[in-house]
Amino acid sequence: MQNNKKRGSFLVRWWFTTKMALHGILANPLRSALTILGVAIGVASVVSLMGIGEGARRAVVEQFESFGSNVITITAHDSSVEFDPEYSEELVEIVQGLEAATPVVNTKTSLKWRRIRGKVDIVGVDNEFPIIRDHKLCLGHFFTKAHVEQRIPVAVLGYNIGVNLLGGRSPVGKSITLNGNTYRIIGVLNPKGEGKADDIDNKIVIPYTSALKIAEKRTVDAIWGKASSEKEADLVIVQLGRIFRRKLGLDQKAPTHSTISEAGGEEDRPRGNDEMEFDDMSTMNNMEPMEPEVPNPLLQSAGDELISITSLNQLVQEADKANRVMTLLLGGIAAVSLLVGGLGIMNIMLVSVTERRTEIGVRRALGAKQTDLLLQFLLEALYVSLIGSVAGIAAGIWGLNIFEGQGFETAVSFKAIKIATVVALSSGLLFGVYPAISASSVPPVEALRSQ
C-alpha cells in the first residue's frame, strides 16, 4: 500500500514537472524558437553534409563495381610493350588463380544505320567478356570463340544503342555498317547505368579480331582478367608483377632481359603458342611461397610507367576508405554547429534561471524538492534539443533533395541521422546541467526576497 502511494506521488511529481517544463518553453516563444533554430541548423548540417559524402562514396564504389568482381586489368602505356592477342590465353595457363582473360581493343569508327550516320565507340574482346565483366545480356546472345577466330562480323550492342536503334524494339538479327563493313547484331547487353562500366551502354562490342582490323593494329594495349576469388586476386597480381618484370628486364634477379615489343620485330615480340618462351615459367605451378609484395605493382623503367597491373577490388576498397574519411570530415565540420547550438541552450537556460528566480522560490516554498527543479530545467533543455533535432532532420533531408536535383549524388544516411540526434540530445542535456543545478540550488528565502 505504501509502495503504491510512493509510486503515485512520483508520477504526480513527474507529470507536474513535465508540464512546468513545457510552460517554461512556451512562455518565451521567440527565445525558445531561436534556441531550437540553432540546434536545427547543426543537425541539418550534419545530415546534409554526411549525406552528400555518403552519396559520393556510393557513386564511386558503384562505378568500380560496375566493371565486375575480381577483375584485373593489365594496361600497356607504351607502344613498345603492347601484347599479342594470344598472350591472354597464355596468362590463363601459367597464372594460378586467373580463370579467364581477354585482349581488349578500344577504338572509334563510323556507324551507318539506315539514314543515321555518325561515330561510335567500339570495344573489341573475345567470348570471355561476359564472364570477366559479370555482364549479362537482355536480348540475344554473345559471340562465341568461333566468331572470334573466324573474324565473323557480329556485334553486341550496349543497352542505350540497342534501345535507340529501333525505338525500343529488338534489333537482334538486323544489320549495321561499321567502318564500311556489314555487321549482324546478335545481342544487346543489360544496362549498367549512366557512365558506369566505362560507359558500356553507349558502345558496341565486337570480336577483337575484327576490332584490330578496324584499328589497323596487330597488337593490343590492354588485357582484362578475372580471378577466381577476392583472395586469389591479390596472388594473381603478385604473379603477374613477377612475370612482367622479367619479361621487361626490370627484375635484376631474372636470368634474361627480354622485352615485349610492338609486333613486327621477330626477335623481340612474344612467339606463338607453340614457341612462347617465359623465364622460369615452367615452374609457375610449383613456385615457392611468395613474400608479400605491393598488390598493385607499377612496372617502370627510368621513371616512365610501362605497364600497370590493377586489381579493381583494391580500387574499390581504397575509394571506399577515402570517401569514408571525407564523409567523417564533413560530419566533423558540421558538428561544430551542434556545439554552437548547445552553447545557445546553455546561454538561454542561464538567462531563464535568472528571470525565473521568483517562480523557483515559490515552488520551493510550496514543497518542491531540489530534484524536481533539476528535472524541470533538464527537461526544458531536452525538449528544445528534441524539437531542434526533428526540425533539423527534416531540413537536412530537404537539403539533400535540393542537391540531388542539381545533379549531386546524395544518400540519406541513417547513421548520420542517428549520430546527429544523439549528439544534439546529449549536448542539450550536457549544457543544461549547469543552469539546472543553479536553479535547484537557489535558497527559497533568497528567491522570494528577489521579488
Q: In this predicted structure, what is the pLDDT of residue 377?
A: 79
Q: What is the mean pLDDT of the segment spanning 54-67?
A: 84
Residue 298 has pLDDT above 60, yes or no: no
Is 249 within the bounds of a domain? Answer: no
Query: Are 33 and 107 part of one and the same domain?
Result: no
With CA atoms as reference, report the closest residue to 171 among 180, 160, 179: 160
Distance CA(214)–CA(107), nearest Å, equals 8
- CA dist 157 to 71, 262, 371, Å? 22, 30, 75
**pLDDT category, 297, cuts 50, 70, 90?**
very low
Higher per-residue pLDDT: 429 or 361: 429
Query: Are 38 and 109 part of one and the same domain?
Result: no
Query: Are 54 and 143 part of one and the same domain?
Result: no
Is 153 within the bounds of a domain? Answer: yes
Q: In this predicted structure, what is the pLDDT of residue 1?
A: 56
Is 144 within the bounds of a domain? Answer: yes
Query: Are 58 and 118 part of one and the same domain?
Result: no
Q: In this predicted structure, what is the pLDDT of residue 274?
A: 38
**pLDDT category, 127, cuts 50, 70, 90?**
very high
**pLDDT category, 194, cuts 50, 70, 90?**
confident
Q: In this predicted structure, what is the pLDDT of residue 276?
A: 36
Q: What is the mean pLDDT of the segment spanning 365-392?
A: 82
Is 148 within the bounds of a domain? Answer: yes
Is 173 within the bounds of a domain? Answer: yes
Is 425 within the bounds of a domain? Answer: yes
Please identify, among 209, 226, 243, the residue that sits at the C-terminal boundary of a domain: 226
Query: Are 37 and 150 part of one and the same domain?
Result: no
Residue 163: domain span: 98-226
Q: In this predicted structure, what is the pLDDT of residue 247?
A: 80
Please identify, among 226, 246, 267, the residue that sits at the C-terminal boundary of a domain: 226
Q: In this predicted structure, what is the pLDDT of residue 283?
A: 35
Please identify, among 203, 226, 249, the residue that sits at the C-terminal boundary of a domain: 226
**pLDDT category, 211, cuts 50, 70, 90?**
very high
Query: Are 33 and 129 part of one and the same domain?
Result: no
The total number of structural domains in the chain stands at 2
Q: Tell how far CA 436 is from the center of its chain.
A: 45
Is 234 within the bounds of a domain? Answer: no
Q: Do the beta carbons of residue 373 and residue 436 sit within 8 Å?
A: yes
Q: What is the mean pLDDT of the segment spanning 152-174?
A: 92
Residue 143 has pLDDT above 90, yes or no: yes
Q: What is the mean pLDDT of the segment spanning 159-172?
A: 90
Is 419 within the bounds of a domain? Answer: yes
Distance CA(138)–CA(385), nearest Å, equals 52
Q: In this predicted structure, what is the pLDDT of residue 262?
A: 34
Strand partners, 125: 207
Query: Are 370 and 414 part of one and the same domain?
Result: yes
**pLDDT category, 290, cuts 50, 70, 90?**
very low
Query: Are 22 and 140 part of one and the same domain?
Result: no
